[in-house]
Amino acid sequence: MDSPTIPPTNSDDVPVTEARGRNRVFVWFDRRAGINSLLHEALDEPIPGGARWAYVFGSGLLFVFLSQVITGVFLALYYVPSADHAHTTVAYITKEVTAGAFLRSLHSYGSSAIIVVLLLHIAQTFLYGSYKGRRELLWVAGCVLFALMIGMAFTGYLLPWDQKAYFATAVGTNIASEVPLVGEWLKRLMRGGADMGTLTLSRFFVAHVFMIPAAIFAFVAAHIYLFRKAGAAGPISEDPVSPRQKAERFYPRQVTMDMGFALLLIAALGLFAYFVPAELGPKANPAETQYLPRPEWYYLPVFQWLKYWSGPLAVIGILAIPTVIAVLFVGLPFIDRGLERRPWKRPVAVGAFTLVFLALVLLGALSRRDDRRNPGVAAQLAKQREETEAFMRAPFEPETAGSSLAAANVALADPLAARGKTIFETKSCNACHGDGGVGTPAGAKLIGVGAKLPPDKLEAVLRQPTEKMAAGGMTSVKLKDEEMKALIAYLNSLK
Amino acid sequence: MESENQTKDEKREPGCAESSSMTGAHGRRSFLGVLMSVGTVGVGAALSVPLARFALHPTLAKTTETAWSDVGAEDEFSTIAEPAKRLINIEQRDGWRKVVSEKSVYVTKSADGRLRVLSSVCPHLGCTVAWNETKGQFISPCHNGVFAPDGALISGPPRRGLDELETKIEDGRLKVRYQYFRQLVATKEVIA
Q: pLDDT (tens digit, 9 = 90+) per residue, A63-76?
A: 999 999 999 999 99
Closest residue, chain A, to B58 (C-alpha): A97
Task: Determine the residue among A77, A80, A435 to mutate to test chain B binding: the one whose Cβ has the most chain B Cβ atoms within 10 Å.
Answer: A435
Task: Find the domain containing A452 and state its range.
Answer: 405-493
> Are residues A447 and A412 part of one domain?
yes
Residue of B53, B97, B144 best to disrupt the A interface, most CBs of A under 10 A: B97
Phi, psi at residue A339, to the nearest 5°?
A: -90, 0
Which residues on A lie below 8 Å from B36 (Cβ)?
252, 255-256, 259
* Among B26, B39, B96, beta carbon nearest to A89: B96
Q: What is the per-residue pLDDT across A13-29, written as a single tens digit (0 to 9) for each?
A: 555 555 555 688 888 88
ipTM for the predicted complex: 0.81
DSSP string over A44-70:
--EEET---GGG-HHHHHHHHHHHHHH
| Closest residue in chain B to residue A249, using alpha carbons only | B18
Dist CA A443 CA B130 (whole Å)? 14
Q: Which of residues 23-52 of B touch A (CB under 8 A)?
A: 25-26, 28-30, 32-33, 35-36, 39-40, 43, 47, 50-51
Q: Are residues A208 and A310 in the same domain?
A: yes
Model-wide pTM > 0.90:
no
In a shared domain, residues A287 and A436 = no
Considering only alpha carbons, which residue of chain A is nearest residue B89?
A405
Determine, yes or no, domain membership for A400. no
Chain A nearest-CA distance from B91, in A, is: 9
Confidence of residue A11 (pLDDT cuts 50, 70, 90): very low
Confidence of residue B71 (pLDDT cuts 50, 70, 90): confident
Binary contact (B97, A400; C-beta < 8 A)? yes
Whether A314 maps to a domain, the answer reads yes
| Domain match, A345 and A419 both | no
Selection from B164, B120, B165 nearest residue B142 by Cα: B120
Instruction: Supply the mean pLDDT for chain B.
Output: 78
Handedness of CA A140, A145, A147, A148 (dihedral sign): positive
Domains of chain B (ranges plus CATH)? 2-58 (no CATH), 69-177 (2.102.10.10)
Q: What is the pLDDT of residue B22?
A: 41
- Count of A-B CB contacts under 8 Å: 163
DSSP, collapsed to helix, strand or coil, labels residue A293 as coil
Q: How far is B176 from chain A (nearest CA, A)?
A: 18
pLDDT tier at B155, thresholds 50, 70, 90: confident
Q: Looking at the structure, do residues A477 and A382 belong to the same domain, yes or no?
A: no
Q: Are residues A197 and A339 both part of a single domain? A: yes
- Cβ-based contacts of A77 with chain B (< 8 Å): 54-55
- Residues A273 and A190 occupy one common structural domain: yes
Please tell me whether residues A382 and A481 are part of one structural domain: no
What DSSP assignment string belongs to B18-42?
A: -SS-STTHHHHHHHHHHHHHHHHHH
Is A480 a domain residue?
A: yes
Q: What is the per-residue pLDDT across A263-319, written as a single tens digit (0 to 9) for each?
A: 899 999 999 999 999 999 999 999 988 899 999 999 999 999 988 988 888 888 888
Is B17 a residue whose pLDDT tops 90? no
